[in-house]
Structure 1
């Protein structure tokens, strides 16, 4: 049993595009509704919840009946603008059904890097939580760019979710993915892959074990999840990586059941 997880009060939960989209590109309404139910119940238990949700481009593609992601940056940003509106509309409806209000927070890297705007962002999160609002966070894909002297992209929401944990001083980050945890090799290819229960530090050897296949709609992979874990461990906080196919798994995780891979600090820790 992971007793420390039962004491977590402020929790960041990140869902990837593959968690809220079907492989055929349609929106998985059943899973989004179940996620809203679970997070609402955690709120009812007295926990503070922050949701980091990918999916703007995927939802935008579905809304526009497109099967292929656009090639150009302006086209992608336009699709993200459409998708983000629809994404928040769906979340707002689902959470309202369970009696909770949500608030949208769209971030770019330069906002976090600049001390004044970083402090303002932290204050916004704090006020939303004080007012019992569930912040729903995403990268601002509509305006974020990555150029030689103007970097505004986080690049992936795994990293973003770890930074959200950092600036909100949350206790725990949970990454709901399409994989059960961190393995010693890619389980999609190797049937003898072994799942790590606990990892205490991220080293070059850890990264060497990572595979990064990505998905049709998402931008992340195992490498970005390890990067997120490294940020979390440096903050002396904890991160859980597990499968988000059934969001009710969050109830079991927060009871301390040994599910997925737990990244937790430990003096002179190593892979176990």
Structure 2
């Protein structure tokens, strides 16, 4: 059942959680343990969790002795190949504390645009969840090109939430909520709730951020939250440091209420049967 209010996150049937590169790479790699502990607690309550995690390229940077995110596509792809392996190892090592297995799911934009690939991805994740395995989803940066990318994993998370019929989506960030303007500027106030159809044009969310570890920012989260909420999936945007509180349904972050009359999506169609 779709979660219509924050408190519904506690004990909900299925939730997608998205975490970005800056929250779990470099000096912040320790945060993986805290995120996993929160997911394990939700898992223990009976909630099925799908984790959408960025961080493959960022994880590889120190291993490849790179000073920052590479500009050329080939090095980005090579970095993703190295970093994804290490990132999954870190997650599984942390999950071992709770006896939970992880399953890697790598997707491209083309996979979700193709009905057969989309159906296969959904079927695989449904089976993983049925086996009580944590699907960890990332964009397949090793084969993706600049022309066929999701653009950021916030959008990927919104699409995955629709694909698996999630009750809610939690977008984890570096700040505790969205603000009416950049939070370090005078007059910035946190946004508690966004209803379907609310006009946000007067707010200053900035542009897409591209830094040494990844892409994202408040603007991408607003866009992704609007996409998911429009399809009937409630969305909470909050800090990665408050993931446990988020999954317990506490009154934190910015809540995007789901559209009570969701727009139909091809992502939620029947699963195709291969012949």
- State if a TM-score over 0.5 links the two structures: yes
Uncovered stretches (5+) of structure 2, i.e. residues with no partner: 262-275
TM-score (normalised: structure 2): 0.87
Q: In the alignment, which residue of structure 1 is the partner of 2:149?
A: 153
Decide whether aligned partners of structure 1 residues 220 and 38 sit closer, same or farther in structure 2, where only a CA change above 3 A counts. same
The alignment status of 1:109 with 2:105, answered yes or no, reads no
Output the CA distance in 1 between the equivalents of 2:6 and 2:235.
12
Cα-Cα RMSD: 2.0
TM-score (normalised: structure 1): 0.88
User: Shift in Å at residue 212 of structure 1?
Assistant: 2.8
How many residues align structurally? 256
Q: In the alignment, which residue of structure 1 is the partner of 2:90?
A: 90
Output the CA distance in 1 between the equivalents of 2:65 and 2:87.
15
Q: In the alignment, which residue of structure 2 is the partner of 1:41?
A: 41
Decide whether aligned partners of structure 1 residues 230 and 166 sit closer, same or farther in structure 2, where only a CA change above 3 A counts. same
- Aligned counterpart for 1:218 among listed residues 211, 214, 221: 214
Decide whether aligned partners of structure 1 residues 123 and 206 sit closer, same or farther in structure 2, where only a CA change above 3 A counts. farther
Superposed, 1:1-272 pairs within 5 Å as 2-21=6-25, 26-147=26-147, 152-188=148-184, 190-201=185-196, 205-206=200-201, 209-212=204-207, 214=209, 215-244=211-240, 246=241, 249-265=242-258
Asked if 1 retains the 8 angstrom alpha-carbon contact of 2:170 and 2:235, the reply is yes
Uncovered stretches (5+) of structure 1, i.e. residues with no partner: none
Output the CA distance in 1 between the equivalents of 2:175 and 2:243.
15
Greater alpha carbon shift after TM alignment, 124-133 vs 192-201: 192-201
Any idea what SS the aligned residue of 1:128 has? helix
Asked if 2 retains the 8 angstrom alpha-carbon contact of 1:103 and 1:136, the reply is yes
Asked if 2 retains the 8 angstrom alpha-carbon contact of 1:199 and 1:264, the reply is yes
